Structure 1
Amino acid sequence: MSFQIQTHEFAELMEKAEIDYMIDRMNAIKERPGNPMGIEIVKFGGAIAFYSKEMPWPQFNTVKGISFNDLHVLDDILEFYKSKGSRLQFEIIPTKAKKELMKALFERAFYQSDFHATLYGHPAEKSISGGSVTVRELEADEINLYAEIHCLGTGLSLSGKSHVADNNRVLFNREGWKFFGGFVDDTPAGVGVMYIKDGLASLTFATTLQEFRNKGVQKALIERRIWEACRNNCNLVISQAAYASTSFRNMERAGLRLGYTRGTWIRG
């Protein structure tokens, strides 16, 4: 994979990939009969506000794409979440982190709580890890297997398995989405998900069961999805991870490189 000269336009292209998959994911959940998760997606200027009544976690109640140009709608955004009784976070990429926006958030009792890394690569044909680790695309009737590994791999209780299954079942066979399973000696060990749109491939989620970590499962899942991006004529692969985390290092080993770190702003 080759390096990219960093520009404002390239940063916003990477951000677009993340926003695109989040919009499609949330819309798919919203389209479940009766919208049981209480999903709303509202555009304020250039910012996109994501909200879920039944999933109060930050990743489902977040504002992406905001910039200095959206200062005039900042209070409208805050009022939207206040009317829902929901906490929120802002995710701001470096090219949009102007001092006026930072100051306005600070004046409204927000502070930067974290950095999160976005990595990129230009997909190219390459060999896939072999040995005892194999990766294949999951079928729709394997959603319960996916949900179980999702829960156990991320430390969630299996009591929430049915909710994870329901919120991901709607993505199986939906245009752009692909689910993969990683196996060690034919035993299910990990899962990975990707979304493809407009020549951009987003590696949206991955996890490995604790007992199979450090065996190359994540590397194989990353490589398989990069190969899938190449097979689908994508121009760019984008993914996110905590900076310098195990996931970050696995992505670097697979050829992805740091694009930027974005700030997460929450209210104290």
Structure 2
Amino acid sequence: MKLPIINEQLAKRIVNCETDYLTSRIRSIGERSGNPEGVEIKQLGDTTAFYIESMPWGLFNSVKGFTQDDIDKLEEIIEFYDQRNRAFQLDVNPAGTNPAMFRGLTEKGLYQDSFHSVLYGLPRGELPNLASNITIRAIEDKADFDLFAGIHCVGSGMDIIHKHHFVNNNIGLLHRPGWKLFLASWDNVPAAVAVMHIGSGSNIASLTLAATAPEYRRKGLQTALLMWRMYEAYKANCELVVAQASFGSSSQNNMERVGMQIAWTRSVWVPLK
């Protein structure tokens, strides 16, 4: 099977997959009793705006799926974040754009801040041949999830004392429909984690979060987890695997090494003020 050529229709499906998994992930945080993190998800046409009061980072205060068709919603999007005194980022993918849309973004006080890579590839039909030091298994219970949260925490550059935040804000993914979590060990020591999401009715697997404990980096763990998830996608009868990464990053490099290709590079826009 050959990797399909990117066109407008396929691009829209890939964008929708990212929006779907982020919606599911952020909704799981908001479903905690009393919504303690202050999650809000606002739908404006085909565009989805995410906000988490306790988490000021761009991913959790982002706008996904925006195209020229929703340019009339731009003022409402900006007002949504202004009312919450929150900076935000708006993703612009090449499909569904025109010069008038870019002029509109500029006229409303947004500017392009950065680029981000969108990659896609084919599932793998064979179980990965892992290095003898590496083992991978699914995360299936709360004890495993505690390991997941610890690795996610330190792999994100945080002190382990903050692990409870990673437990609280990700435990909703355990056994959530469409989600699979994996733990990789190095010489039987838990060392890296990764996540995959397949939306309801979708045949595209999103390779989402991945993290490695600092002392276990550069050992091939993330490459192994990529291949493992590509095999899991094959078992789930997926047509494609997709992922996002900072342009030119080690994550992008790892994805390319296992056969994924850059579908496009999107631009990230933010308010000037």
User: Scaled by the length of structure 1, what TM-score is found?
Assistant: 0.96
Instruction: Identify unmatched segments of 5+ residues in structure 1.
Output: none
The answer for the alignment partner of 1:163 in structure 2 is: 165
Alpha carbons 2:207, 2:241 under 8 Å: kept: yes
Instruction: Give the match for residue 225 of structure 2.
Output: 221
Residue 164 of structure 1 and its aligned partner are, at CA, apart by 0.8
Q: What's 1:71 paired with?
A: 71
Map of 1:238 onto structure 2? 242
Q: Counterpart of 1:132 in structure 2: which amino acid?
A: N
Structure 1 outlier segments of 4+, above 2 Å = 157-160
Q: Deviations over 1:113-161 (max 9, x none)?
A: 1111111112131241232111111122222211111111110222321
Aligned length: 268
Measured in 2, the distance between the counterparts of 1:2 and 1:215 equals 30
Paired residues of 2:75 and 2:108 also in contact (CA < 8 A)? no
Instruction: Confirm whether residue 254 of structure 1 aligns to residue 264 of structure 2.
Output: no
Separation of aligned partners in 2, 1:156 and 1:95: 36
Give the match's secondary structure for 2:158: coil
What CA distance in whole angstroms lies between the structure 2 residues aligned with 1:10 and 1:164?
A: 33
Report the counterpart of residue 95 of structure 2 in structure 1: 95
For residue 108 of structure 1, what is the amino acid of its counterpart?
A: K
* Residues 39-58 of structure 1 aligned to structure 2 (within 5 Å): 39-58=39-58
Write the distance in 1 (CA, Å) between the matches of 2:127 and 2:45: 44
Q: Secondary structure at the match of 1:96?
A: coil
Whole-Å separation in 1 of the counterparts to 2:141 and 2:118: 29
CA distance in 2, matches of 1:201, 1:212: 26
Counterpart check, 1:140 vs 2:136? no
Distance across 2 between alignment mates of 1:171 and 1:194: 10
Quickly say closer, same or farther: Cα 1:95–1:69, change in 2 above 3 A.
same
Identity %: 39
2:30 maps to 1:30: yes
Of 39-48 and 125-134, more deviation after overlay is shown by: 125-134
What is the TM-score when the length of structure 2 is the normalising length?
0.95
Whole-Å separation in 2 of the counterparts to 1:98 and 1:155: 39
User: CA–CA distance in 2 between the matches of 1:3 and 1:235?
Assistant: 9
Residue in structure 1 matched with residue 268 of structure 2 by the alignment: 264
Once residues 46 and 127 of structure 1 are traced to their aligned partners in structure 2, the CA distance between those partners, rounded to angstroms, is 38
Which amino acid in 2 is paired with 1:133?
A: I
Paired letter, 1:15: V
Residues 140 and 169 in structure 1, CA contact (< 8 A), matched pair in contact too: no
